[in-house]
C-alpha cells in the first residue's frame, strides 16, 4: 500500500507538472539581422508580456532562424510562427495597402508622427482586409526616420550626379531615386554590405541605425544629410488565429504593451542610436553632402505629386480605396 501511495503521489505530481506546462504559452517571433534599434520595439514587447503574465506567455525572438526577411509574411500566413516583422517595400504586391506609407516626400518629420500615421492606416478596414489575406493582424509599426544615402566613389554634389548610380532602395524611395536617373536595386538588408563591397550597388539608402548595423558605413565615402526621400514602413504582425487563441489575460498583456514598447523604441532611437551616428561618420572620414533648399524643393515637386498619382491609379485597379488611404495619410500628417 505504501508503494501504491508513493506511486499515486508521483503520478499526481507529474500530472500537475504537465498541467503547469500546458498553461504556458510560447510564441515564436521571426525578425532578421541582429538586435539593433530596429528591433527594440519587439524586444521590449517581449519583456513586457513576460512580466505582465509572470512568464506564462513568452515571445521567443529569432534573428533569421525561422525565415528569410522577404518571406516573413508567408510564414505568418501558414502559422510557421506567431509574430514577425517585415517591410512593405520588400513585397509591394503582398501588402499594397500599406505601401501608401512609403510614398516619397510625405512630410513625416518625427518618429512620433510616423507612429500616429501608421496606426491610423493600420486600422482602416481596407488595410485590415488586405493583411487578412495572409491571416495576419497588424500589431504595431516600427517607426524610422527619413532615409539617406551612403555611397562609394565620387560624391554626388548635385542631384544630376545620381544619374546611372546603382542604389539599394525599395518602394517609394526607389521610385524617387529613379527620377534622378539612379538605378534602384532591391537587396535584403542583411545582404546589402556584400552587394556594396562587390560593386552590385554603389550606394545604399537606409536609416542611420541600419547603416550602422549592416556595415554600409564602414567603407562609405559620402553621406547625404538631407535628401530625405522617404522611409520604409515595417510593421510587426501576428498570426490572426494565434491571437484569437490567447486567453484574455495574454491578449491584454500583448495589446496593452504596444504603446509602452513604441515609447521605449522612440526614446532608444532618438537618444542612443542618433547620438552615435555623427561621431561614427567623423571617425570614418565620411563626407557629408548637404543640398540647398531650392534643389530639394525641385526634387520634391518633380517626384511627390506624380508618385502619389501613380500609386492611386495602380491601387484603384487592385480594388483598394486608394485615394481614401492617401487622404487619410495626408490628414494625419496635417494634424
The pLDDT value recorded for residue 175 is 87
Structure confidence at residue 22 as a pLDDT band (50, 70, 90) = low
Is position 254 within any domain?
A: yes
pLDDT category of residue 18 using cuts at 50, 70 and 90: very low
**77: domain range?**
25-144+232-273
Task: Give yes or no for residue 2 having a pLDDT over 60.
Answer: no
Do 226 and 237 share a domain, yes or no? Answer: no
The mean pLDDT of 326-334, rounded to a whole number, is: 96
How do residues 175-193 score in pLDDT, each as one tens digit? Answer: 899 999 999 998 888 899 9
Residue 8 has a pLDDT of 43
pLDDT in tens, 126-181: 999 999 999 999 999 999 998 999 999 999 999 999 999 999 998 888 989 999 99
Domain CATH code at residue 45: 3.40.190.170
Report how many domains make up the chain. 2
**80 and 94 in a common domain:** yes
Query: Are 80 and 206 within one domain?
Result: no
Q: Can you give the pTM of this predicted structure?
A: 0.85
Q: What is the pLDDT of residue 296?
A: 92
pLDDT of residue 189: 86
Is 327 found in the same domain as 218?
yes
Segments of the chain assigned E as strands? 25-31, 57-63, 83-85, 136-140, 148-151, 166-168, 183-185, 203-206, 222-224, 236-239, 287-289
CA distance 81 to 30: 7
CA distance 27 to 14: 24
Is the pLDDT at 7 greater than 50? The verdict is no
Tell me if 305 is assigned to some domain.
yes
Instruction: Kindly report the number of other CB atoms within 10 A of residue 128's CB atom.
Output: 14
The C-alpha atoms of residue 297 and residue 109 are separated, in whole angstroms, by 16
What pLDDT is recorded for position 23?
73
Q: Is 84 helix (H, G, I), strand (E, B) or coil?
A: strand
**Strand order in 183-185's β-sheet?**
183-185, 166-168, 203-206, 148-151, 222-224, 287-289
pLDDT digits (tens, 9 = 90+) for 224-260: 999 998 899 999 999 999 999 999 999 999 999 999 9
Helix (H, G, I), strand (E, B) or coil at 21: helix
Looking at the domain assignment, is residue 239 inside a domain? yes
* Average pLDDT score over residue span 39-65: 98
6 in a structural domain = no
User: How confident is the model at residue 15, as a pLDDT?
Assistant: 43
**Residue 72, CB-side half-sphere exposure with 13 Å CA sphere:** 28
In a domain, 1, yes or no: no
Q: Is residue 10 part of a domain?
A: no
pLDDT of residue 170: 85
113 in the same domain as 66 = yes
**Which of 133, 104, 136, 98 is CA-nearest to residue 118?**
98
Single residue among 273, 300, 326 that ends a domain in this structure: 273
Amino acid at each position: 500500500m505504501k508503494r501504491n501511495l508513493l506511486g499515486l503521489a508521483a503520478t499526481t505530481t507529474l500530472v500537475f507538472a504537465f498541467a503547469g506546462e500546458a498553461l504556458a504559452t510560447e510564441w515564436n517571433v521571426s525578425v532578421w539581422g541582429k538586435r539593433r534599434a530596429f528591433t527594440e520595439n519587439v524586444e521590449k514587447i517581449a519583456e513586457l508580456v513576460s512580466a505582465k503574465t509572470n512568464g506564462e506567455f513568452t515571445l521567443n525572438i529569432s534573428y533569421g532562424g525561422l525565415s528569410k526577411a522577404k518571406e516573413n509574411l508567408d510564414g505568418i500566413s501558414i502559422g510557421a510562427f506567431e509574430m514577425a516583422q517585415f517591410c512593405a517595400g520588400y513585397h509591394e504586391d503582398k501588402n499594397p495597402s500599406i505601401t501608401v506609407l512609403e510614398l516619397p516626400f510625405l512630410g513625416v518629420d518625427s518618429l512620433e508622427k510616423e507612429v500616429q500615421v501608421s496606426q491610423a492606416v493600420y486600422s482602416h478596414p481596407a488595410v485590415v482586409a488586405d493583411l487578412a489575406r495572409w491571416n495576419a493582424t497588424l500589431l504595431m509599426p516600427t517607426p524610422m526616420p527619413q532615409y539617406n544615402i551612403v555611397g562609394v566613389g565620387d560624391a554626388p554634389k548635385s542631384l544630376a550626379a545620381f544619374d546611372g548610380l546603382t542604389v539599394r532602395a525599395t518602394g517609394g524611395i526607389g521610385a524617387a531615386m529613379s527620377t534622378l536617373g539612379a538605378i534602384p536595386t532591391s537587396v535584403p538588408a542583411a545582404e546589402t554590405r556584400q552587394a556594396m563591397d562587390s560593386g552590385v550597388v554603389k550606394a545604399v539608402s537606409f536609416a542611420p541605425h541600419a547603416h550602422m548595423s549592416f556595415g554600409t558605413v564602414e567603407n562609405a565615402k559620402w553621406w547625404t544629410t538631407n535628401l530625405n526621400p522617404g522611409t520604409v514602413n515595417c510593421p510587426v504582425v501576428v498570426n490572426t488565429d494565434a491571437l484569437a487563441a490567447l486567453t484574455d489575460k495574454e491578449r491584454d498583456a500583448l495589446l496593452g504593451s504596444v504603446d509602452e514598447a513604441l515609447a521605449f523604441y522612440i526614446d532608444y532611437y532618438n537618444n542612443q542610436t542618433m547620438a552615435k551616428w555623427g561621431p561614427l561618420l567623423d571617425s570614418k572620414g565620411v563626407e557629408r553632402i548637404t543640398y540647398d533648399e531650392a534643389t530639394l524643393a525641385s526634387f520634391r515637386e518633380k517626384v511627390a505629386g506624380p508618385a502619389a498619382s501613380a500609386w492611386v491609379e495602380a491601387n484603384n485597379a487592385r480594388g483598394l480605396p486608394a485615394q481614401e488611404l492617401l487622404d487619410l495619410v495626408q490628414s494625419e500628417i496635417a494634424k
